[in-house]
A = this chain, B = another copy of it.
């Protein structure tokens, strides 16, 4: 590939002039500029971004660290990020950690070495002292979806409210034995959802029944198994709050296999609003999360940090979830009209 020297030679000017003609930041004689652009075209010249980055001390690149590409919520957030990044002239480098802390640290080092200008994390673990350290060094960092820390800018979803509203909706519809099939309490988002569930029960004067609580599930297979466990324990739920759509679908499968009906015998509400959830049989009632918006906000925030040289105070932004009512929830025995 041609370099700036060859362009300068062909255009009969100095490399400084080529650089200026291309950057547009400093005035260059129109005639000279024309010659330069002509040479650029003939040689198919493209400036070397490594050299440019080395000189300028920035690369116009954002690093994005994601725990699991298979989790259907990330693609939407990623799209939000890349859309904003593109608008501001940034490229996004995506790293998938497979929920592994060591891999995450490796990628962080790698991205730092590559002089990535800012980092967006959806981190696997709560602790992650290496992230806080990055921030302390003045490195622009934004947390997304998974966890929050008062020292770090975070774009998250109001998980407490989401679970509260889901549970409250079931109560209002007349359900009383409401089970929750939750994820790991190692993640703040699942702790918040559990708290929301508890608060909704408490506000309605219902006692928390531990036989109706399942922890540490992930994926539809776990949802299916969790439902079997609930029956095994004699939990007798008339409704289930699943903390993800796949888990909700696993629950529905279990209910159908037992020859029970959704929602007549057991109502099910999910969390995520995946593409597929609407086409299910019955269509899944769920809490829709604004993933795309999370992505755009995270990208906007990290770009702001980059431009502000990290002197801004951390901002924690919580986005609302939306209840989508579909066929998987009906009316329970305690329902007496609105």
Binds B, one of A75-83, A155-163, A208-216, A328-336: A75-83
Contacts of A72 in B (CB 8 A): 72
Residues of A within 8 A of B (CB): 1, 46-51, 53-54, 59, 69-70, 72, 75-76, 78-79, 82, 86, 91-96, 98, 103, 107, 109-110, 112-115, 137, 219-220, 224, 246, 249-250, 252-253, 256, 275-276, 279, 281
Q: Which residues of B contact A249 (CB under 8 A)?
A: 276, 279
Contact B46 A54 (CB under 8 A): no
Known contacts A54-B54, A79-B69, A96-B78; decide if A220 and B279 are in contact (CB<8 Å).
yes
**Cβ-defined contact, A115 with B220, below 8 A:** no
Alpha-carbon distance A50/B55, docked complex (angstroms): 10
**How far does the alpha carbon of A7 sit from the alpha carbon of B127 in the complex, in Å?**
30
> Which residue of chain B has the shortest Cβ distance to A52 in the bound complex?
B113
* A82 vs B93: C-alpha distance when bound (angstroms): 12
Taking the closest CB of chain B, its distance from the CB of A216, in whole angstroms, is 19
Interface pairs (6), CB distance under 8 Å: A70-B75, A91-B93, A91-B107, A93-B93, A94-B94, A276-B276
> Contact partner of A50 among B50, B76, B281, CB < 8 A?
B50
A109 to B54 CA separation, bound complex (whole angstroms): 19
Q: Which residues of B contact A49 (CB under 8 A)?
A: 110, 113-115
Chain B residues in 8 Å Cβ range of A78: 69, 96
Which residues does chain B contribute within 8 Å of A276, judged by CB atoms? 220, 246, 249, 276
Measured between beta carbons, the chain B residues less than 8 angstroms from A103 are 86
The answer for the CA separation of A75 and B113 in the assembled complex, in Å, is 26
**Max chain B Cβ within 10 angstroms of own Cβ: one of A53, A103, A114, A137:** A114
CB distance from A157 to the nearest CB of B (A): 19
A76 to B96, CA, bound (A): 12
Besides A92-B94, A220-B275, A224-B279, 8 more A-B contacts (Cβ < 8 Å) are A46-B109, A54-B54, A70-B79, A72-B72, A91-B93, A220-B276, A220-B279, A253-B279
Q: How far is the CA of A70 from the CA of B249 in the complex (A)?
A: 20
A109 CA / B79 CA spacing, docked (Å): 20
Give the complex CA separation of A323 and B8 in angstroms: 60
Give complex CA distance A277, B93 in Å: 31
Cα A110 to Cα B53 with chains together (Å): 13
Residue in B closest to A221 when the chains form the complex, CB atoms: B279
Known: A253-B281, A276-B246. A50 touches B91 (CB 8 A): no
**Contacts A78-B96, A96-B79; is A50 near B46 (CB within 8 Å)?**
no
A141 to chain B, nearest CB (A): 15
A280 CB to closest chain B CB, in angstroms? 8
- Tell me the complex Cα distance, A70–B295, Å: 14
> Is the pair A96, B69 in contact by a Cβ cutoff of 8 Å?
no
Q: A124 to nearest B CB, angstroms?
A: 15
Query: Nearest residue in B to A83 (C-beta to C-beta)?
Result: B98
